[in-house]
Structure 1
Amino acid sequence: MPLLDVALQNGGYLILLIPVVILIYQSVVIVGGNEIALIERRWFGSKMPQGRVVALGNEVGIQARTLGPGLHFLIPFIYLATKSMFTEILENEIGLIESVDGSSIPAGRIFAAVVAGHNSFQDGEAFIRNGGQKGPQIEILPPGKYRINPYLFKLTKGHVTEIKDSEIGIVESVDGAAIQEGKIFAQAVEGHESFQNGDAFIKNGGQKGPQIEIIPPGNYRINPYLFKVTKSMATKISEGEIGLVESADGAAIPAGHIFATVVPGHNAFQSGQDFITSGGQKGPQTEILPPGVYRIHPNLFKVTKAAAVVIAKGEVGMVTAQDGAPIPMGRLLAQSVTGHSNYENGEAFLKNGGQKGPQIDVLLPGTYRINLNLFNIQIAPAAVVEANKIGLVTALDGIPLPEREYVACPVVGHNDYQDGSAFLTKQGQRGPQLDVLRPGTYYINPFMFSVAIDDVAVIERGQVGVIVSNVGEDPTEEMKKRLGSTQAGASIEEGKEKYVVPKGFRGIQEEVAGPGRYYLNRRAFMAYIIDTTNITIDWDDQEDTRFDQLTVISKDGFPIQVAVKVVIRVRPDQAPYMVAKVGSIDNLIQHVIHPMIDSSFRNQASTASAMNFLQSRSEEQTKAETRARVDLEKYHVECVSVLICQIKLPEDLMQTQTKRIIAEQQQEMYKMEQKSQAERTEMEKMRATADQQPTLVASEIAVKVATQKKTEMITLAEGTAEAKALEGTGEGKRLKAIGDGEASKIAAIGEATAQAYSKQQEAIGEEAIKQIKIVELIATAIENGKIKIVPDVLVSGGGTAGDGLMGQLARLLPGIDLNAMLKKQGAAPEIKG
């Protein structure tokens, strides 16, 4: 029984223990390592205030606090725990928080104020107690794991803002103070760490709207609800380019100016706040950006790329400033100022008093970084004067020319007009210049000087140049009288050719220019080229003559045409006076010599009959030359000669004279012909005798040949006899007798043949002997068969073959029996008709 009692007693304890175990089990909450426990109080607590969503402390409802990993005891039936996972923000993410509960955000604000002690929103109860506000939070969560109550805080993940190396970040704030009136961009504030600290931005007075600061390359944890970040490319100015800048914000440009004043400290417009703070002005900027990469706010500064100014070799750059002081009245070009480094430093140009408008300084060949909004550049070719050319210069600016002057007084130091400022400083005059440009290349400002190309003055051999000067002093009256008295035939009172003056005075120069090339300014000096060699003037009916032949009337009323040639010469020392008298050789010929010669021959022809004028040609020529020499001396010209080339009388007058002369010539011709015929008869006799000489010579030669042959045969016989004699005495005698007989025979034949040739030659002549000899040779050849006179086939057109071939042979070979020869040679040929 005691055991039963013990068992019953233990069972009662077990029954009592089970509820305890169940209570304890329900009171224990185990939270894992990556979990949190959300608590809800269901009973036995105070009611939450109106408008609250999450409970604090003893308030009934979903609690603001949470339970972290571990073992926790909660009173069952009063608390209900629900597990949730940690909130994890990855490396390239940020956490954006919006509070479901808290106090209200003040009017005019968008984001809740930052409160302390909530441990990155992990302590919701501290957030509520410390005055955390309902709505989007300005703070963000960096990468990590967080125990955040999802009933209290709504979390949205966002991405880290990445600005690459070639980019910049442009920021616009959704919240903050209002931008000052008249401003476009919010002023910069400190402490926001490139907009990563929104709380510092708001507390330090950050303004709502587009921010003047930009974000450089890097990764940023920026609240996208507070700051809207737009990416833009950095400004890159390549080599050979410049950046022209225009500011969208800043102070106003002073009245009368177009370009903003340069301010320091903005780091090539990369610090917009420093630009504004230093008094940077709105509008086109004077400064430019050289090649490089710039982090410039594109909404604050508009950067326009432009090519650098390149002035090539053989070119010159003309500059026109768009801003600066006004050009003084009466001036065409702006004065030169220093320090602007070939207009690359626009600030120095404006500060040093640079004037608006076309500039007197030019840009030489090279590359320049010039603000093309401030300076307009025009490129023109440099002035190139080629060989055998000169450049005539006209200044477009300077002091006015004196009233009577046509060419400006020369000044020095302007480096062949390439330094326009020096030209003006030394009181250079406006208008045509005396100094010329010799062959070469000149970098001259076309705004200041115009250059016209002209030929050099060339004086060839046999010429002189008479120079007429448009510059210099006027000769005095005393000088004019002295000059006049030195001339042939001129009295002091007459003062002829008084405009011939010494060097340095205005007028025709007394000293002439000899052969050569001269860089002569034709505006200041006119050169008259005068030939000092003989000049021939023709009056003829040829196409290339200057004047038609002269037509004059004789005393007896016949028209006479006279071809005349006049040769004149101007001495070098008399050339200036000739120019002063008549102006030029052409004027001399047209207006002096031509009428003088025409009048002279008319007067001479009127005093003689036509035939007498023709017959006294030499005397008429001498008269005309004498008169021309006297007349031309007055014009300082030497008459070398006057020649009458041809005189043409009327045709009917010439016919009578011609017929008379022809009759006389015919009589002479008949006499000469009779004499010629007599001489011809004598000549024929002599020619006949001469024609027989070849025959006589041939006969003599034949005799000599026969004699020589006889001697030859005798000599051969004697030699043979002597050889035979050596064989024996007896045989020798016999052979000697035979040899003597043969020799006598040969001698007799030779003598007979010689005599026969002589007789034949006397009888029939040498030519006949030759023909006979030829016939004999042919006959022998035919007989021996060496010549075939009968062809194998004979083609005949009619008759018999003998009528043609045999007939010809019979005539050629008289006395020869051709039929016998044919029989001897063979049968007759086949005849084809």
Structure 2
Amino acid sequence: MIPIIISIVSVLVGIALILWLAGFRIISNDKIAVVEKWWSPKGNLEERIIALNGEAGYQPQVLRGGIHFLSPLMYKIHKCPFVTVPQGEIAYVFSRDGKPLDPTQTLGQVVPQCNNFQNVRAFMENGGQKGPQRGIVREGTYIFNLAQFIVITNEKTYYLPLGSNDDYKTINKMAEILRERDAFKPIVIKGVDDKVGIVTVHDGPSLNKDDIIAPAVGDVSSESEKYHNNFQDPEKFLIAGGFRGRQHQVLVEGTYFINRLFATVQLIEKITVEVGFVGVVVSYIGPKGEDSTGVGYSHGELVENGYRGVWAKALMPGKYAFNTYAGKVIMVPTTNIILKWISNQRGTHNFDENLKEVSLITKDAFQPSLPLSVVLHIDYKKAPLVIQRFGDIKKLVDQTLDPMVSAYFKNIGQTKTLIQLIQERSEIQMTASSEMKEKFGHYNLDLEEVLIGTPSASENDNKIEDILTQLRERQIAMEQIETYTMQQKAADKEKELKESQSRAAQQRFLTESEINIQIQGNEGKAEFQRALQEASKIKAIAEAEAEKEARIGIGKAIAIDEQVKAYGGPQYQVAQEIMSKFTQAIEKSKINIVPNTLVNMGNSDSGSGNVFEMLLGLLVSEKLGVNFDMNKDNEDTRVLKIKEAILKSMEEEETEQ
């Protein structure tokens, strides 16, 4: 068995030796092999690494998976993995061999024929350069000759060690730079962030001496030979005439696969012009433009948009992807600007932070401090002129408006007493607003209004305050008078109101009273009519009764007359009646009719001087109002007087009824 085993082993060794001598190689499908040639009849390489013409050295072609026959006496095989670039990442390539870079170059030029660096021969034969490359490798799996190319990804660096420490250090340093720049991920600018990308190119020709920002080139998509698609194609950027340095063209929202060795990107805020403002652009770049201000304007030039200088047209409210390295935007408010010459008070725009009250010397030698507020407006069309003249609004306020306004009111103060300054404030405001409009207009400003406050005294001056106190007390007294007057009027109105309310409350009763008055008036009228009728009736009855009584009286008079004649005259008739009544009285009073003593009146001629006779005569004359002369009137005369008196008495009684 031993000879058989020896024979088998010898055969196997012989076969192995034959295979080894034949160069039998097995390469798995997930690997590649870089072929290194030990020697060649064509000689060795002197300055290159890759042997393009069969010389000894690293061969440009790589071996893929499978069985290969390469004699170990001539070739050495270096197995390498595939290069995999993860999704959404970028890989960078460093070439070990190729043409040297030009003195002005930073990166090797892109060779389109090399199929993303997978064809070494095409790369070398078409001008491929050694060093870091402008071209990048996007996501995917690639077959690279790692003797020629070093591929740097975020997770791993793919390369074939050549035994040089310097080579290893260069690769690591390059990887560190890329990680610092976050270069393995594309640049993503989100719209919600309101950012723009400022690009700085690190390759290409340098800028001209008068330029600080590289002008935009190759940004027209219709020009396919020059359109570099936002710096993603370095070769087209350079063909279009791009310069290294900070670029005027910016990146807006989107995703950009840019080689960070070729260009870096800085994100800055967009320029936002708020409502109520315009943005005046001062451009640092561009060709020299023609002045649009005319001959009469000697404070500078305004140029059309896109030229170097102050742009004649301001930016309207909105958002702008403006490169702040290529110029600046000065915000000018188009709403009313309030400037306050008042300590510790500021307007909304804070342009008046250095202003304070204006110190005056009045006509009566007081030194008050006058607080002021000035309202002005800047026409948006004139905003560039204001910026061209003053640089910004703050300088306008501090260097021009402050001294101008202060001098104007100092002049006003010298012509007014302190009381006039206080009491004539309205007139001074109107005059100031009118006179200062022209001065403000000279600086392309629209003056809206001038507002004057109350003059105040300095800390050590109490005289002004005394005057103000007197004025305040005077005003308080006047206001009190006015208040009392108004209160009196209010009281009168309140009284009228209460009367109206009471009248309204009693309206029902008033209405009822008025109706009752009307009813009573109507009833009174009816009663009056009834009274008239009753009076007429009574009058008629009275007249009838009077007529009756008159008739009866006349009849009685005639009868009495006859009786008188029958009894011997009126004296006897009256005496008879009197005596009858006298008798009745004596009967009731029980008086003696025959006196104990008889008194004689002493009339011996007539023989009738007794008391009874004289008494009867007096009674009749007094009763009827007839004066008898007992010595002269005869009997007929007395009867006639009595008759006349009776008739007269009856007529008077009728009249009274």
| CA distance in 1 between partners of 2:112 and 2:134 (Å) | 12
The answer to which structure has the higher strand fraction is 1
1:483 paired with 2:309, answer no
Asked if structure 1 preserves the Cα contact closer than 8 Å seen for 2:32 and 2:143, the reply is no
**Does residue 297 of structure 2 align to residue 519 of structure 1?**
no
Q: Distance in 2 between matches of 1:682 and 1:434?
A: 83
Q: In the alignment, is residue 365 of structure 1 matched against residue 139 of structure 2?
A: yes
- Could you tell me whether the CA contact under 8 Å between 1:554 and 1:610 is conserved in 2? no
Give the C-alpha shift of residue 625 in structure 1: 2.1
State the partner residue of 1:405. Answer: 211
CA distance in 2, matches of 1:375, 1:349: 11
Picking from 415, 426, 433, the partner of 2:228 is: 415
| 1:354 equivalent in alignment to 2:128 | yes
Within the candidate set 652, 658, 661, 2:472 is matched to: 658
| Native 8 Å contact 2:33 2:62 kept in 1 | yes
Residues 354 and 508 of structure 1: CA distance in aligned 2, closer, same or farther (over 3 Å): same
How far has the Cα of 1:237 moved from its partner?
A: 5.5
User: Which residue of structure 2 lines up, in the alignment, with residue 508 of structure 1?
Assistant: 310
Structure 1 residue corresponding to 2:443, chosen from 609, 628, 635: 635
* CA shift digits 1:162-211 (9 cap, x unpaired): xxxxxxxxx6xxxxxxxxxxxxxxxxxxxx6555xxxxx8xxxxxxxx95
Q: CA–CA distance in 2 between the matches of 1:292 and 1:390?
A: 51
1:532 aligned to which of 313, 331, 334: 334
Q: Quickly say closer, same or farther: Cα 1:629–1:291, change in 2 above 3 A.
A: farther
Name the CA distance, whole Å, in 1 between partners of 2:499 and 2:275. Answer: 69
Specify the SS of the correspondent of 2:330: strand
Unaligned stretches of 5+ in structure 2? 154-182, 219-225, 458-463, 505-657
Aligned length: 452
- The farther-off stretch of 411-420 and 300-309 is 300-309
* Contact 1:237 1:293 survives alignment (8 Å): no
Aligned ranges 1:284-303 → 2 under 5 Å: 286-290=60-64, 301=76, 303=78
Deviation string, structure 1 residues 643-668 (Cα, Å, up to 9, x no partner): 22544454333333334445566677
Alignment of 1:709-724 (within 5 A): none
Q: Retained in 2: the 8 A contact 1:236–1:294?
A: no
Decide which of 615, 620, 625 is 2:428's aligned counterpart. Answer: 620
The AA in structure 2 aligned to 1:520 is: F
1:258 is aligned to 2:33? no
Check whether the contact 1:554–1:609 (CA below 8 A) recurs between aligned residues: no
Higher RCO, 1 or 2 (CA under 8 Å, sep at least 6)?
2
CA deviations over 1:223-249 (Å, ceiling 9, x no partner): xxxxxxxxxxx65453xxx44647484
Counterpart contact for 1:397–1:448, Cα < 8 Å? yes
Q: Is the 8 A contact 2:360 2:370 kept in 1?
A: no
Alpha-carbon distance in structure 1 between the residues aligned to 2:232 and 2:380: 40
Tell me what 2:579 maps to: none
Q: Which whole-Å CA distance do the structure 2 matches of 1:597 and 1:459 have between them?
A: 30
Counterpart residue number, 1:308: 83
Residue 305 of structure 1 deviates from its aligned partner by 4.1
Relative to structure 1, is the Cα distance of residues 212 and 474 closer, same or farther in structure 2, using a 3 angstrom cutoff? same
- Contact kept, 8 Å, 1:394 with 1:430, in 2: the verdict is yes
Q: Structure 1 residues 473, 298: CA separation in 2 closer, same or farther (over 3 Å shift)? A: same
| Corresponding position of 1:384 | 188
What letter is aligned with 1:514? M
Match of 2:568 in 1: none
Letter in structure 1 aligned against 2:190: E
In 1, Cα distance between equivalents of 2:186 and 2:307:
35
Q: Retained in 2: the 8 A contact 1:318–1:362?
A: yes
Q: Deviations over 1:276-299 (max 9, x none)?
A: xxx653xx5544455678899999
Shift of 1:582: 0.8
Q: 1:295 to 1:558 in 2, by over 3 A?
A: farther
3-state DSSP class of the match of 1:349?
A: helix
Q: Distance in 2 between matches of 1:667 and 1:515?
A: 55
Equivalent residue for 1:809?
none
> Residue 308 of structure 1: CA displacement?
1.6
1:736-775 equivalent positions in 2, closer than 5 A: none
Residues 317/497 of structure 1: CA separation in 2 closer, same or farther (3 Å cut): farther
Distance 1:681 1:473, change over 3 A: closer
Q: Does 1:435 align with 2:211?
A: no
Query: 1:262–1:347: 8 Å Cα contact kept in structure 2?
Result: no
The CA distance in 2 between the partners of 1:527 and 1:683, in whole Å, is: 67
Q: Could you tell me whether the CA contact under 8 Å between 1:235 and 1:295 is conserved in 2?
A: no
Give the unaligned 5+ runs of structure 1.
Answer: 1-88, 98-139, 143-157, 162-170, 172-191, 196-200, 202-209, 217-233, 264-278, 691-833
Q: In the superposition, relative to structure 1, how do residues 291 and 577 fare at CA in structure 2: closer, same or farther (>3 Å)?
A: farther
State the shift of 1:356 in Å.
Answer: 0.6
Provide closer, same or farther for how the CA distance between residues 214 and 641 of structure 1 changes in structure 2, counting only shifts above 3 A: same
Q: TM-score, normalised by structure 2?
A: 0.58
- Paired letter, 2:228: N
Give the drift of 1:502. Answer: 3.5
Say if 1:484 and 1:497, in contact at 8 Å, map to a contact too: no
CA distance in 2, matches of 1:582, 1:634: 13
In 1, the alpha carbon distance for the partners of 2:84 and 2:501 equals 105
Aligned positions of 1:98-109 closer than 5 A = none
Q: How does 1:196-211 map to 2 (within 5 A)?
A: 211=20
Counterpart code for 2:399 = H
Q: Deviations over 1:408-457 (max 9, x none)?
A: 34433232222211222333333333333332122222222233323333
- After TM superposition, the structure 1 stretch with the greater mean CA deviation from structure 2, 316-325 or 537-546, is 537-546
Which residue of the other structure, out of 415, 418, 421, is the alignment partner of 1:610?
A: 418
Shift of 1:613: 0.7
TM-score by length of 1: 0.47
Letter in 2 for 1:448: F
Taking the aligned partners of 1:566 and 1:518, their CA distance within structure 2 comes to 32
Within a 5 Å distance, the mapping from 1:161-200 to structure 2 comes to: 193-195=15-17
- 1:8-66 CA distances to partner (integer Å, 9 max, x unpaired)? xxxxxxxxxxxxxxxxxxxxxxxxxxxxxxxxxxxxxxxxxxxxxxxxxxxxxxxxxxx
1:95–1:507 distance in 2 versus 1, CA, 3 Å: same
Q: 2:259 aligns with which of 422, 437, 445?
A: 445
| Equivalent position to 2:403, from 585, 591, 595 | 595
Q: What secondary structure does 1:484 align onto?
A: coil
> Residue 553 of structure 1 aligns with which residue?
360
Q: Distance in 2 between matches of 1:679 and 1:640?
A: 44
Does 2:118 correspond to 1:344? yes
Q: Distance in 1 between matches of 2:82 and 2:424?
A: 90
Paired residues of 1:458 and 1:516 also in contact (CA < 8 A): yes
Distance in 2, Cα, partners of 1:213 & 1:358: 39
- How far the C-alpha of 1:570 sits from its partner, in A, is 1.5
CA distance 1:559–1:296, shift in 2 (3 Å): farther
Higher normalized helix content (fraction of residues): 2
The residue matched to 1:579 in structure 2 has which SS?
Answer: helix
> In structure 1, which of residues 383, 387, 396 is the aligned counterpart of residue 202 of structure 2?
396
Cα distance in 2, alignment partners of residues 471 and 668 from structure 1: 70
Between the aligned residues of both structures, percent identity stands at 28
2:377–2:447 CA contact under 8 A, matched in 1: yes
| Change beyond 3 A, Cα 1:453–1:244 | farther
- Superposed CA deviations along residues 113-172 of structure 1, whole A, max 9, x for unmatched, are xxxxxxxxxxxxxxxxxxxxxxxxxxx3x6xxxxxxxxxxxxxxx7996xxxxxxxxx6x
In 2: Cα distance, 1:542 partner to 1:622 partner: 26
